[in-house]
Each structure stands twice: as structure tokens, then as C-alpha cells.
Amino acid sequence: MIALALIGSKALWLLYAWLASAALSAYLSERKGYGERAGLACGLLLFVLGPLIWLVWPAREESKWRTAGIIGSRTKRDRMARAERDGSSDTAGR
């Protein structure tokens, strides 16, 4: 009976890892501009490889990954500072 309980706890931890993989893949694919569904499917089907695939998959040009950064959204002040920095570097190079 104890062996059955140990198998059950391992299965529960594997279930948590599988769901975390799917959630992380969905988050990454949405940030990179491909929508949550593609990442969710990839994370559910490929377990550990799903998030790794989305980490190396290229982001679209107007995605949150490229405009707001890798993690979360930045404040308005940070975005304005980045725009000024990018704008000033473009005018300096001309």
C-alpha cells in the first residue's frame, strides 16, 4: 500500500510539472506574438521541450517580446526613455 502512495505522489508532481510547462509555453508564445494556443499545444504535447522551443523561436517584429522586453511590461517612463535613446542614436548616426 505504501508503494502505491509513493507512485501517486510522483504522478502528482509530474502533473504539476506538465501543467507548468504548458503555462510557460503559452506565456512565451503569446509574448513572442504567436498567440497562447500555439504555445499551449506545444507545451502540452512536448512537456519539457515546449518552453525550450519557445525560448529559441524568433519573435515577431511587433510582439511584446520586442517592444516591452522579455519579462512583463515596462513602465511608461522606461518606454519613453528607450524611445528617446533609440531616436537619439538614429540621429547621431546620420
Residue-wise pLDDT tens digits, 10-28: 889 999 999 999 999 999 9
Where is 66: in which H helix or E strand?
helix 64-67
Any idea how long the chain is? Answer: 94
The answer to whether the CB of 30 falls within 8 A of the CB of 36 is yes
Q: What average pLDDT does the structure give for the chain?
A: 83
**What gap in Å lies between CA 29 and CA 15, rounded to an integer?**
21
How many Cα atoms within 13 Å fall on the side-chain side of residue 88?
6
Q: Is the pLDDT of residue 93 over 90?
A: no
Three-state DSSP at 48 gives coil
The answer to whether the CB of 16 falls within 8 A of the CB of 2 is no
Q: Is the pLDDT of residue 2 over 90?
A: no
pTM score: 0.71
Q: Is the pLDDT of residue 82 over 80?
A: no
**What gap in Å lies between CA 49 and CA 55, rounded to an integer?**
10
